[in-house]
Structure 1
Amino acid sequence: MLKRVLMMLGLTLWAGAAHSAQADSVALDGQVFLDQNENGIVDPGESGVAAVAVSNGREVVRTDAQGKYRIEVRDGDSLFVIKPANYRFPVGPDGMPRYWQHHAPNGIGKTLRFGGIAPALANGRFALLAEPGSAATLKVLLLADPQPKTATDVEYLRRDIIEPIAATHGAALGVILGDVVSDDLHLFDAVAKSLQPLSLPWLMVAGNHDIDFDAESDALSLASYRQRFGPDSLAWEERQSVFIALDNVVYEGHPKRRYVGGIREDQFEFLRSYLSSLDTDRLLVVLTHVPLFNVHHRGDDSFRPADRQRLFDLLSRFPKRLLLSGHTHAQRHYFHDSQDGWAGDTPLHEYNVGTASGGYWSGVPDQQGIPDTRMADGTPNGWAMLSIDASGDYRLSYQVARDPDHPGIELSGPAVLRRGSWPGVGLYANVLMGWAETRVEVRIDGGEWRRMHYSPGLDRQVLRENLDDDRADRLRGFDRLPEAVESVHRWRFSLPTHLAAGKHSIEVRAFDPWRGELRASSTYQLVDAP
């Protein structure tokens, strides 16, 4: 009899905690608390944290004065806390912040090759730690598409990006803009481990190479990713800004293996619920993998226009906003305007960040054995820094891997010309963070500064590597660089040939809106020919 009573009591408590595996949805009672001794449990004297946002990926609720809340959870939900400013999350052994719980009584996608989500029951209790204080300027380290396909590539990531900046980066937050790996999801753990020397909390965005390609639907396509890195849509608050990360890869399912950029209906529900509660004082940063501009050149849309318009409508009331994306393995600034459906008073800035893997960890290796891996538009691989002031004003910079003194300009042109020849041979300046309105100037031998002509086109250095690969009778690297594509940040100047015979100096300067004047230099020679 006692055994039966205890069993019934246990079932009652189970139902009260809303952990019914059979129900389509249940109401979960939880609490967000200040974990003063960092042991992960609510001890006597530890209080709840009020007004913290908690979401199931659709609804957003706020904690009461005791840090308590109630929210609906469905089988397969990832319950998560939106980090409030002036707090931080505990981190796990892998260095990743712990702000989510999966609710999947029977697991999700157990037959998937990479395992899907293991059986789990959300208990709704989340710990926060006090943030002792933060700098007036928030610095955010941006990595787009690390995308290792093998353990060797993970080693390149570690040696090329992570180790050289581990002690000097100065950031307080890290972001990975998708394609954490390249299809082999077993490498998730290796990438997470490689990031640990940076000692940063990470906001992760899912990419098209992070999905379970054997999933039969978009709903299951990120099961293994979510098991490792948590919800595929989330938000994060700092004093200077609010970040929203969105999975925007809509997968058509196995065996098609096709995808398009878009946003799901449950994500729009989350956005409406969360954005309606935000004031407009802080910078709003939206993180995605697939850019919102069209990256295809054959006419079809790479991002569903209706989804883009709905997102723009939600963002339009925020005067301070920034879009960050990856995916293209190129770098550009895009300014959405009325032709794209943007109705704001000023264009909506999207920075498509140059990738950590560059040209997919390809190209001729250097003396350290690390491949050139230049992107198809000529941008060397690297990382970016976003700096946000208390006012919400932001600054962006891009840093070439293992080259802290890189001027941000890549020059290419002839080494020698015949004196008196037709002056039609060009000097090209690839200004890595430039766009059409950037002022770029050149002078020869310290003379007068002259404007360079904005001239999008194939990057000469990538094209040269492509041709050298074509002519080679052996492999020059494990994989060759991708074929050159149009660089939208390239300028041209016809080198003069009427000067005296001999060597002549070239100086190029570009005016970056955040870093100021950037300079690069080179030389060319004029020779007399009979």
Structure 2
Amino acid sequence: MKKTIIYSTLLCCSVLTAQTTVKGSVFEDLNQNGKRDKKEKGILNVAVTNGREVVLTDKKGNYELPLQGDAVIAVIKPTGYKIQANADNIPQFYYNYKPEGSPKSKFEGVAPTGKLPESVDFPLVSQKETDDFTALIFGDPQPYNLDEIDFFTRGIVAEVEGIKNIPFGLSMGDLVGNDLSLFNPYIQAVKKVGIPWYNLLGNHDLNFDAKADNLADETYEAHFGPANYAFNYGKVHFIVLDDVLYPDPRDHEGYWGGFTEEQMKFIENDLKVVPKDHLIVLAFHIPLSEPDSKDDSFRDEDRQKLFELLKDFPNTLSLSAHTHMQRQDFLGKKEGWLQEKPHHHYNIGTTSGDWYSGKLDEKGIPISVMRDGTPKGYAFIHFSGNQYNVDYKVAGKPENYQMKVFAPKVVAKGKHTKSGVFVNFFMGSKKDKVAYRVDQGEWKDMDYAEVQDPSYVELVYEWELSEVLMPGKRSSDPEKSTHVWRGEIPSNLSLGTHTIEIKATDMFGKTHTANTSYRIDKVK
């Protein structure tokens, strides 16, 4: 009887341990077969997470983490190692643990994983990484149907297919537009870029029939892994987060920007093992910034908690998409930032532009200019150590196409005109300098103006004024842009054509140029 009790107790403890602890190792996969062979050694000091706690591997590469119910176990890629990607170029840095699978939903989630393996191991492959590298960033592909998958594939992916010297890419959420059955067509499209591709969750990627926030990403997890994770490359530490609270905790309808308590603990624990001199790049879908005083798109206390966690890291950058516009925000003490140097938040323009609207180009693809006048496109972020700079690439245009100039075609000789020359500098912010000159005369600074881009207004009015139905769909109404400048048009010059040159210097010290012309005629 005594032996039976002891055995039963041990068995009970064993089951309890199996249910509450996950163990495994991180090892160098020398032959790249995804399995740990006898001669393959563990790797010391690699971070592994359960989505809340973060632990480092010991000298044998072993780790142990607590588990409470369903979880996604993920390795945090260390600098100098590669995560193997699957056939669809999605990095396999995670293990989904859902013994019973995801709850029933309109769109399938994770299939039942059954019993937890005795060891959840993560293979890494050694690779040479320089401190200078470039990441490719897509904002909101957001196709609502297969036609829009085709627009995305031909209009965006085709431009970067087979790109070289880019170690990875990242899509900034709204991978699809509510129909989660489009995840696979989206994956097949992005696969063509030919590089490892990370993703994050947007408000149009949710299981909308979920009754709790922690169940709203089940289909996403089945396709892409955890909605919260991190990785290192060079001297940059990337933290990717789901900042969509759904259902909205205020009224249980719609969504709200913010983080859960579990996410905040993950960020806190993750940052404990990151060197203070590294650049911290945070990526999430909904912007941190609330430029309009009436805007309440992000929970204030979560932003403040995040800022407190970042206060000892002097080099930071955060990225978002969501708005289908492009802007640069610099968050300072007024916004709760706890350092002297403001925090740069880059709200990236989208690959879908204005939701695949507007006239069709010569390939039958919507031009889809965004409401602030930014053309659809994508970003290259260039890293050098813990510093960075950004280039925005307009889809279908040369790399040097960085601004749109709007000016009158003709003005009256010697007559004062209310017309002006407007420049939409797509990557610009209020901090930048834009100058112009006429006929190679003196350079003059242009005036920053938060107004609607007249070039975009013209595109919208074309739909209203057309007497025949135009192919495609009407663009959205214009919004004020945060990167427009205005200059006066001189009318006291000689009759004939005059050239206007534009010179813009961005926040990284790079100079961009453009030009246009106008004509001066005599009043008849």
Amino acid at match of 1:265: E
1:365-384 deviation digits (Å, cap 9, x = unpaired): 01111111001000001010
Tell me, yes or no, if the aligned pair for 1:213 and 1:253 is still in contact at 8 Å.
Answer: no
Contact 2:74 2:95 in 1 (8 A): yes
Indicate which of 230, 236, 241 corresponds to 2:236. 241
Q: What's the CA shift for 1:94?
A: 1.4
Structure 1 residue 356: Cα displacement:
0.9
Q: Give the corresponding residue for 1:269.
A: 265
Report if the CA contact (8 A) 1:141-1:385 is conserved.
yes
Identity of aligned residues (%): 33
Decide which of 349, 359, 365 is 1:364's aligned counterpart. 359
Q: Partner of 1:503 in structure 2?
A: 497
Correspondence for 1:422 = 416
Identify the match of residue 107 of structure 2 among 114, 120, 130. 114
Matched with 2:430 is 436
| Deviation digits for residues 477-529 of structure 1 (CA, Å, limit 9, x no counterpart) | 33221111010100001111111111111100001233621100101111112
Aligned residue among 68, 72, 77 for 2:66: 72
Q: Is the Cα contact below 8 Å between 2:84 and 2:125 reproduced in 1?
A: no
Residue identity opposite 2:126 in structure 1: E
Question: Which residue does 1:3 correspond to in 2?
Answer: none
> Does the 8 A contact of 1:214 with 1:253 survive in 2?
no
One-letter amino acid matched to 1:279: P
Q: 1:433 to 1:300 in 2, by over 3 A?
A: closer
The DSSP-based 3-state class of the residue aligned with 1:198 is coil
> Could you say what secondary structure the match of 2:153 adopts?
helix
Question: Aligned in 2, Cα 1:97/1:18: closer, same or farther, shift over 3 Å?
Answer: farther
**C-alpha offsets along residues 135-182 of structure 1, whole Å, 9 cap, x if unaligned?**
341211111111111111111111111112224453212111111111
Distance 1:497 1:441 in 2: 19
Shift, 1:473, TM fit: 4.7
Distance 2:469 2:225 in 1: 40
Alignment TM-score, normalising by the size of structure 1: 0.93
Q: Does 1:398 align with 2:396?
A: no
Q: Give the gaps of 5 or more residues in structure 2.
A: 1-6
2:186 maps to what in 1? Answer: 191
How far apart, CA to CA, are the structure 1 residues paired with 2:13 and 2:410?
81
Residues 253 and 216 (structure 1 numbering): CA distance in 2 closer, same or farther, change over 3 Å? farther
Write the distance in 1 (CA, Å) between the matches of 2:352 and 2:68: 37
Matches within 5 A, 1:115-134: 115-121=108-114, 122-123=116-117, 124-134=119-129
| 8 Å contact kept, 1:462–1:481 | no
Alignment partner of 1:158: what SS?
helix
Letter aligned with residue 505 of structure 2 = F
Q: Is 1:377 paired with 2:394? A: no
In structure 1, the partner of 2:197 is 202
Q: Does residue 254 of structure 2 align to residue 258 of structure 1?
A: yes
Indicate the residue corresponding to 1:23 in structure 2.
none
Aligned-residue RMSD, C-alpha = 2.2
Match of 1:450 in 2: 444
State the alpha-carbon separation in 1 of the partners of residues 131 and 62 from structure 2: 31
Residues 129 and 233 of structure 2 are in contact (CA less than 8 Å); yes or no, is this contact kept in structure 1? no
Query: SS of the counterpart of 1:125?
Result: coil
Superposed displacement of residue 204, structure 1: 1.4
- Answering whether residue 430 of structure 2 is matched by residue 462 of structure 1, we say no
SS of aligned partner of 1:129: strand
Q: Does structure 1 retain, via aligned residues, the 8 Å contact 2:162–2:194?
A: no
- The two structures have a TM-score, normalised by structure 2, of 0.94
Offset at 1:116? Answer: 2.1
Q: Deviations over 1:252-303 (max 9, x none)?
A: 26996511100100001111111122211211101111110115x4714110
2:319 is aligned to 324
- Aligned counterpart for 2:309 among listed residues 291, 310, 314: 314
Which region of structure 1 is more displaced relative to structure 2, 120-129 or 311-320?
120-129
Q: CA deviation at 1:18?
A: 5.3
Contact 1:216–1:253 (8 Å) recurs in 2: no
Deviation at 1:410, TM superposition (A): 0.7
1:31 matches 2:25: yes
Give the alignment partner of residue 280 of structure 1, picking from 262, 272, 276.
276
Go from structure 1 to structure 2 and tell me whether the alpha carbon gap of 1:218 and 1:515 turns closer, same or farther (over 3 Å shift): same
Which one is further off, 254-263 or 226-235?
254-263
Q: Distance in 1 between matches of 2:512 and 2:295?
A: 37
Shift of 1:355: 0.7
Structure 2: distance between partners of 1:150 and 1:171: 29
Moved over 6 A (4+): 11-14
**What is the identity, as a one-letter code, of the residue corresponding to 1:201?**
P
**Shift in Å at residue 134 of structure 1?**
2.4
- For the 8 Å contact 1:382–1:401, the answer to whether it is kept is yes
3-state SS, counterpart of residue 499 of structure 1: coil
Contact 1:217 1:253 in 2 (8 A): no
1:268 aligns to what SS in structure 2? helix
Match of 2:165 in 1: 170
8 Å contact 2:332–2:340 — kept in the other structure? no
**Aligned-partner Cα distance in 2 for 1:266–1:136:** 32
- Counterpart amino acid of 2:508? W
* In 2: Cα distance, 1:259 partner to 1:210 partner: 12
Question: Which stretch has the larger CA shift, 209-218 or 129-138?
Answer: 129-138
| CA distance in 2: counterparts of 1:450 and 1:298, whole angstroms | 33
In the alignment of these two chains, the number of paired residues is 514
Match of 2:4 in 1: none
Equivalent-residue separation in structure 2 for 1:103 and 1:19 (angstroms): 12
**What do the CA deviations read for 1:455-491 (whole angstroms, capped 9, x no partner)?**
1110112211221222335542332211110101000
Aligned equivalents of 2:266 and 2:503: distance in 1? 45
In structure 2, what is the equivalent of residue 5 of structure 1? Answer: none
Aligned residue type for 1:49: I
Of residues 516-525 and 126-135 in structure 1, the stretch that sits farther from structure 2 once superposed is: 126-135
Report which stretch shifted further, 169-178 or 490-499: 169-178
Equivalent residues of 1:366, 1:372 under 8 A apart: yes
1:103 is matched with which residue: 97, 107, 116? 97
SS in 1 for 2:186: helix
For residues 60 and 53 of structure 2, the distance between their equivalents in structure 1, rounded to whole angstroms, comes to 20
Residue in 2 that maps onto 1:305? 300
* Shift of residue 12, structure 1, vs aligned partner: 6.6
Partners of 1:273 and 1:471 lie apart in 2 by 57
AA matched with 1:383: Y
Mark the CA change 1:319 to 1:100 in structure 2 (over 3 Å): closer, same or farther.
same
Tell me the residue number matched to 1:333. Answer: 328
Deviation of the 1:429 alpha carbon: 0.2
Distance in 2 of aligned mates of 1:402 and 1:324: 24
Tell me which amino acid in the other structure corresponds to 1:209.
Answer: H
Whole-angstrom distance in 2 between the partners of 1:201 and 1:408: 28
Q: For the residues of structure 2 that align with 1:326 and 1:109, how far apart are their CA atoms?
A: 29
Q: Deviations over 1:192-211 (max 9, x none)?
A: 11112222222211110110
Offset, 1:119: 1.0
